[in-house]
Chain A
Amino acid sequence: MVINITQIKNKSSLYRQRQKVGLLFSLPALVLVAAFLGLPIYQAMYYSMTKWDGIVAEWLGPSTYLNEFKNPIFWRVIENNALLLMAVPIAILLPMGIAYMLNDKVVGWKFFRTVYFLPTAISWVVIGMVSLRFFAQEGLLNDLLKSFGLGFIRTDLLSSERGALVAVGVTFIWSMVGTNSIIFLTGMATLDISLYEAARMDGASSFRIFRSITLPQLKRFIQFSFIITVISAFTALFSLIFVMTGGGPGFGTTTLEFFVYQSAFSRGNFGTGAMLGVILFVIMAFLGSAQLLLVRNKD
């Protein structure tokens, strides 16, 4: 009896200790996130409905959103984002092919893996600067065309609105190669080899094997790389655009994230900037929850 009571006592004191220590240990992380991410996103929602110069805010209400949706420049920016999304399939399929080749483990594959993955470590500022030189009038792209006898093409992508967006898209694909190749290489390492042997015994073609065995097993890796790539297209290109085009020519390469910065810090419309940020947040939160749901359904 006595032992039992002390056990219960110990248990309940342990329970209390867990409550106390648990709360105490997780509080710093929560406070940090709340102060620097939670509070600002809440403020952004409030200020998105005001006219705000960073000091004085005048309440306007939800009409700010309706007005913005009538603004042709806003739709131009959204169109740029939509066009950039066209790079996403290439930024996924190309690395999938690369991972497939790496997985063959030919001579030097570890070296190739290191090389392909290298852009992951490089800042967009540096990537943007080199890319700027690549696409410039006197840049490597034109040199290459000339050396293939196509000198008459002489590109000047960066001087036209659509051309500059193509240049940004190509650079984006180049820098996503590493991350996505690694994701697919990780995926291919998890493939069930016995299925392949069975399929080959049954005389299935390589294409058939890829479509019916490899692809289904890679499904969650494809989903993951899709989400990562889309999120990057929406939120990782600020520095690249800042260095490469400054959003121009015109609004040719102004994406939503760049528009946030421009509205607030170049034009002083902090309220509009906050609103654009909220719109970006809604799009990203939707995509992110989709990924979380997909992962959860797998468990």
Chain B
Amino acid sequence: MKLKRGLTFVIMSLLAVVMLYPFVFMINTSFKSKEQFLGAAGHSIASWQKILTVMPVGRQLLNSTIVCVGAITIILAVSSLAGFALAKLTFRFSPVFFLGIVGAMLIPLQSIIIPAYINASHWHLLTGYWGAIFLYAALGTPFATFLMTSYFRGLPDDLIEASIVDGLSYPSVFRRIALPLAIPALVTIVVLQFIQIWDDLLVGLLFLQDPNYRTITVGLGALAAGRTTDIPVLMAGSLISAIPAIVVYLIFQKQLISGLTAGIGK
């Protein structure tokens, strides 16, 4: 028994090395100059200085933040409202609405990206952040609504009926009672969406064409696709882009896990 546990520990440690290797490689490589990467000894911060000149890092981090905040705000607003309505206010079209919103989960991004791109250009949404913000919001809403609907279904009906008898209207029940109780679900949505939008390339590549509006991931993708051969600089850029998502992950691991496993069903 002890031997088996010891063996398990050894295997898990080896696996941890495999999973952590890319991060060690990124950190180690980023602290080398181009020459040091090609074989010369020692470390330096040359590549960290260089990444700041080849990529407007500060601006791109700001852009990523703006796009994330914008899209997530919209997702939270529409999905919590819809989730409450679909779970607690059985209205005439609620099954159709639920299917229409949540069913859109089945649509892959690549299937709609071309018409969505053409529409956005007709609607003059490609010049600023709005095209990307709306598309990210639309992509996140189906799953978020699914999550909010299941969460609100778990609230006892008595709670809502009692408040209505006390003279509250449905909108104030939502705002004063249901929404505060749903904070854990809202946090899960924020974490899931933050990582998804922060890490996305395709939407940003097409919908944020002005280099001044590029997110950090798109900036990095463009730099890599530009066949930059300066690997240490790319690794420094990779680390900068990855760190915010890693920090969010480390803090909100639990919420992320509950979001990822929410679709399994009972």
Contacts and interface: CB of A to CB of B under 8 A. Distances in A.
A177 B82 CA distance: 34
A108 B138 CA distance: 40
B206 A106 contact: no
Contacts of B220: 125-126, 129
Nearest to A225: B264
B201 interface: yes
Interface in B241-266: 241-242, 245-246, 248-250, 253, 256-257, 260-261, 263-266
B221 A115 contact: no
B241 A126 contact: yes
Interface residues of B, number: 95
Interface in B5-58: 5, 8-9, 11-13, 15-16, 18-23, 25-26, 29
A176 B260 CA distance: 13
Given A32-B141, A33-B141, A123-B198, A186 B261 contact: yes
Interface stretch (A79-87, A158-166, A237-245): A237-245
A123 B5 contact: no
A140 B174 CA distance: 56
B156 to A, nearest CB: 17
A252 to B, nearest CB: 17
B114 A33 contact: no
State the majority secondary structure of interface residues on B. helix
A261 B202 contact: yes
B48 to A, nearest CB: 16
B195 A121 contact: yes
Contacts of B199: 121-125
Contact of A126 (B11, B82, B115, B242): B242
Nearest to B145: A29
Contact of A26 (B97, B142, B200, B253): B97
Contact of B137 (A32, A43, A289): A32
Contacts, number: 293
Contact of A30 (B97, B139, B174): B97
B89 interface: yes
B246 A246 contact: no
Given A25-B89, A238-B110, A120 B119 contact: no
A296 B134 CA distance: 31
Nearest to A28: B78
A201 B166 CA distance: 58
Interface stretch (A60-68, A208-216, A269-277): A269-277
A33 B253 contact: no
A186 B264 contact: yes
A261 B110 contact: yes
Nearest to B17: A115
A130 B115 contact: no
6 contacts: A21-B170, A25-B174, A28-B82, A29-B78, A54-B118, A281-B111
